[in-house]
Amino acid sequence: MLALFAAALAASSSAPAPITDPMLESAVPWFERITVTLDDKGTQKSCKYQFSLSPTGVENCDKEMAASVGPKNAKGQDGVYSKLTFERRFSPGAKLDTGKLPTGDKLLGQQVLFLTINAKGGIGSCKVLATSGDLLPAYDCDQAKTEQFKVAASAPAGKQSEAFMTVTVYGHEEQIA
């Protein structure tokens, strides 16, 4: 693929920390997405963060988050911007939501995790079910186990709930105007 996308392999190992918001409910689906735009010299031009449960919609990344994503010291094709998106989708229950890529984007890597969430909202177990692509996301079971969820009051006492976490890296190129 492109030099910038290939260089993103190193960046994926320093993906941003997971959401640790205690208000995430184990029965509510959500996604979070970080999209970085890089110029042909590998310089980050923008960083946007979106969390599906946030009332504010798309925001600029804070400095720490922006510094943690995107390839370092990469050079791309002259006159071309590259956009890379790092996305996590949480799907409670037995229905997997892999998410559909935007038209024109290329899948660079994906990992699907199966999670059980215990009665206290912690991750009881985690198993990687599938991986694909050349750019595997750095988010794995070790990071997933740091998540904490609010268990719904209607959940049966002592019963673990199940969920899927799909982590995807995708991107595309566009001409610099």
List pLDDT tens digits, range 153-175. 666 666 788 999 999 999 888 77
Top mean pLDDT of 13-27, 59-73, 80-94, 142-156 is at 80-94
Structural domain including 170 reads 3-175
Q: Into how many domains does the chain fold?
A: 1
75-109 burial, b if ≥16 CB within 10 A, otherwise e?
A: ebeeeebbbbbbbbbbbbeeebeebebeeeeeebb
46 contacts 36 by C-beta, under 8 angstroms: yes
Task: Supply the mean pLDDT for the chain.
Answer: 79
Give the mean pLDDT of 15-31: 67
The token pair at 46 is: 């923008």
Each residue of 88-120: pLDDT tens digit?
999 998 888 877 888 889 999 999 999 999 888
User: 144 — phi, psi (to 5°)?
Assistant: -60, -35
Count of residues in the chain: 177
**Over residues 119-136, mean pLDDT:** 90
